Amino acid sequence: MSVVRSIMMVAGDKPRHLEKIPQLVADWAMVNLEDGVGDKQAARQLVAETLGAMDPAVVAERVVIRINPMERGGMKDLRALSHLRPRAFRLPKVEDQETLHMALGMMDEAVELHFTVETRAAWNMLERFKIDNRVTTAYLGILDLMADLGIPQSLLKPDNPTIDYILAHFLIQCRSIDLLPVSFVYQDHRNLAELERWCEKVKAMGYTAKGCIAPAQAEVINRCFAPDPAALARAQAIISRFAAQREQGVTGFVDPDYGFIDEPIVRDAQRLLQMSPREPSHADD
């Protein structure tokens, strides 16, 4: 999976929004066919035409299509759009494995399947949703989840312990079954200072990606999740020094600059480098 930090919602019924996908600063474009889209059939046709005219490599690398619930338009979405071969389709309102199996059966084998955790049923079933290697990513729909759990949305603050638990549990559950956990969308797109506060919080918890609804938010997220150059240099040095020692049969040693180095330390350094995004060629083109 390529590195992703920001996933920006793009209205599936707005031609000008769709046409700007190749120039978006966000790493992925989340083309939305669900909430807020009135004429679903017209939106399907617009998405098919617009993405069909786009560079297939851009669609395959950067576009995720958020379809409707399977029994309420999702199957029509997949039948109409599967030929586009986007990076992924994202399923909302998933509450059982059967829904995931149904979607996978209608998709090209090269396309990923993502889903949203936004109900108590999905929360309780999350550990069972990794049914296939194509199921790669889970999004936390925290406002809908809180509503379904009867938790007041006024508690959604960076210093609330209940929110800490939700974020930590979702992260660990996803990581334990090899899913990428995507932190929730911060709705107040004008309050970039508060968004940055949330970004720093979830980054410190271990998140590497967050959803957004505006280009300015994507810029904040990209900047926040960008790795520290000093940390990258340290990781590269650790890997290099370990490789040199391993050639001599040593796989655990004390380095004068970086302390004790062994295989777990090296794996962490490799993970950091793998999670470091390359400079996006699409930005500011």
Which residues carry a binding-site annotation for Mg(2+)?
A: 118, 144
Q: For residues 179 and 204, is the Cβ–Cβ distance under 8 A?
A: no
Q: How many CB atoms lie within 10 A of CB 153?
A: 10
Cβ atoms 95, 122 nearer than 8 A: yes
Of 194, 185, 99, which is closest to residue 145 (Cα–Cα)?
A: 185
DSSP 279: P
Contact 162, 168 (CB under 8 A): no
* Cβ neighbours for 61, distance < 8 A, ≥ 6 positions apart: 2, 87
**Cα separation of 273 and 263, whole Å?**
15
Instruction: Extract the tokens encoding 220.
Output: 């904040």
Binding site listing for substrate: 66, 118
Distance CA 225, CA 276 (A): 9
Residue ranges with strand state E in the chain: 6-11, 28-32, 63-66, 88-91, 112-117, 135-140, 180-182, 210-212, 252-255, 259-262
- Residue ranges of the annotated binding site are 66, 118, 144
CB 94 within 8 A of CB 138: no
Tell me if 11 sits within 8 A of 47, measured CB to CB.
Answer: no
| Count, residues in the chain | 285
Site of tokens 């005219």: 53
